[in-house]
Amino acid sequence: MNTIPTVTIALSAYNEAENIGRFLQSVLEQKENGFILEKILVISDGSDDSTISVAKSISSPKIEVREYPVRAGKSARLNEIYDSLTSDILVQSDADITFAHPGVVAAMVAALSSGESVGMCGGRPQPLPAQTWTEKAVNLSTRAYDRLRETFRGGNNVLSADGRLLAFRRDLVKNLHIPEDMITNDMFAYFSCLKAGREYRFVPEAVVHFRSPQTLRDQIRQNTRFVAGPLRMEKYFGDEIVARERSIPFSLFARTALREFFSHPILASYIFAVNLYCRAKAKMTESQLSAKWQMALSTKKLQ
């Protein structure tokens, strides 16, 4: 990389009019400490709402909006981002989040610049306060998940590789191609990083805010895809490495789960039952899932 690395922030958006304006404003508020922000790239993947007009209404010469009338799926759009990257670093995000503070990108860049062996890093998504019963239950499980990913291997694990905020060195991205049928591109990128002999780093200070599913239907849609992710990974990387990277000590898992159960037993029981159903559904439907997954619409309403 250059002495002062250049950065492109990019995302694939499908019907993200609800929040993309807030997302872009939070990006423009980032302080360029230790990097130069070259471009903010928004690729509209067949959006039929006002995603494009909202994105174009944000005044900045650094924002580039690419419009496509037909939805190709997130995999195709991410591969376009990777192929066209000219900056030293790619910060990849989603449109249904906001950066929590002006130093998020700087923290990601610093992690990638810490050593030549580091090829990829992930931020720390944090849910907004819950507004519905289901969202409260989901946030409870998210809190347990957050403790697991921070504790397991010091955070440098597949659990913290979350597509809401990832960053890559250009040389890794240029050799990364997301398969058309991919349902968890973040997990695929993580295993690709390891396969390339590079290291992954968790960046806990790089916080982004998101909205958890507010309805039962949306939780089932989202969690079923998440749970099906490792099954899809085994087809590309083999079950040995997938099992190794996800082998959380039972004692750690039990302590974390029981802590949340005893604090909110009814909510914990509810979300455990829902996620158990999602696990069973994932096993039955994994082969049918694609990069054009059904959207969890309630996660788009951050305000």
For the stretch 204-220, pLDDT in tens is 999 999 999 999 999 99
The fold of the 6-300 domain, in CATH, is Spore Coat Polysaccharide Biosynthesis Protein SpsA; Chain A (3.90.550)
Which residues does 268 contact at the CB level (< 8 Å), separation at least 6? 137, 140, 141, 257, 260, 261
Report the pLDDT averaged over residues 82-96: 96
What radius of gyration, in Å, describes the C-alpha atoms of the chain?
A: 18
Share of the chain above pLDDT 70, in %: 97
In the predicted model, is pLDDT for residue 291 greater than 80?
no
In the predicted model, is pLDDT for residue 131 greater than 90?
yes
Edge to edge, what strands does the sheet with 89-93 contain?
Answer: 63-68, 36-45, 6-13, 89-93, 165-169, 118-127, 199-210, 97-99
Angle between helices 265-285 and 216-237 (to 10 degrees): 50
Q: What is the pLDDT of residues 173-209, one digit of tens each?
A: 999 999 988 889 999 999 999 999 999 999 999 999 9
1 confidence band (pLDDT: 50, 70, 90): low
Nearest by Cα to 186 from 64, 14, 12: 12
Q: What is the pLDDT of residues 270-280, one digit of tens each?
A: 999 999 999 89
292 confidence band (pLDDT: 50, 70, 90): low
Q: Which helix (H) or strand (E) holds 24?
A: helix 20-28
**Average pLDDT value over all residues in the chain:** 92
Tokens of 191: 């295993």
Contact 119, 113 (CB under 8 A): no
